Structure 1
C-alpha cells in the first residue's frame, strides 16, 4: 500500500507514552491501526443506524436471544479447547489405542 506523510497534532504526553511503548519505528503503524479501528467502528455505527431505520430498533427479546447464542458459542469453544488440551496430554500410543 502506498503511504504518504501527514502532520497531525497530538497531546504530547499521549504521543510520548505511545512512542515509549511501541518504539520509534512503530509509532506510524500504531497510529494507522488506531485510525483503521476507528473507521471500522464508525462504519459499524452507520450500519446499525441504517438497520434501525429499515427494521426498527433491536428489542430486548432479540438482545436476550443473541446473548444466549453468544454464551452457547463460548461454552462450545471452551469445551472444544478443553478436549483438545486433554487429548494433547494423552501419550501418542494411548491415542492410537482409543481410535
Structure 2
C-alpha cells in the first residue's frame, strides 16, 4: 500500500453518513483520509485479483468446488502442522 508521504491530491467524495461516521470512528490517529485511502487500495487489489481470475478461467476453465475444497484441505493441514510444530518447539 502507498504511504501518505507520497504526493496526494484532495478529492471530494460522497458517501452515506453512517458509513462515513463508522469510518471516522475507526480511523484512529491516522485520520479519515488515510483510512479511506487504505480501503480503496484494498478494493483495487481485489479488483485486480478478480481480473486475474477471469483471465485464468478464460484460459483454463473455471475452478471446480472440488478443487477449491482440496486447496482448503491442504491449507488446513499445513496450518495444523504449523500449530503442532509450534507446540513441539515450546
Name the TM tier (shorter chain): 0.7 to 0.9
| TM-score, normalised via structure 2 length | 0.80
| TM-score, normalised via structure 1 length | 0.74
RCO higher in structure (CA 8 A, sep ≥6): 2
Gaps of 5+ in 2: 1-5
Task: Tell me which structure has the larger Cα radius of gyration.
Answer: 1
How many Å apart are 1:20 and its aligned residue? 2.2
Gaps of 5+ in 1: 87-99
- Give the alignment partner of residue 58 of structure 2, picking from 53, 57, 67: 53
Q: How many residues align?
A: 85
How many Å apart are 1:24 and its aligned residue? 7.0
Larger helix percent = 1
What CA RMSD, in Å, does the superposition of the two structures yield over aligned residues? 1.7
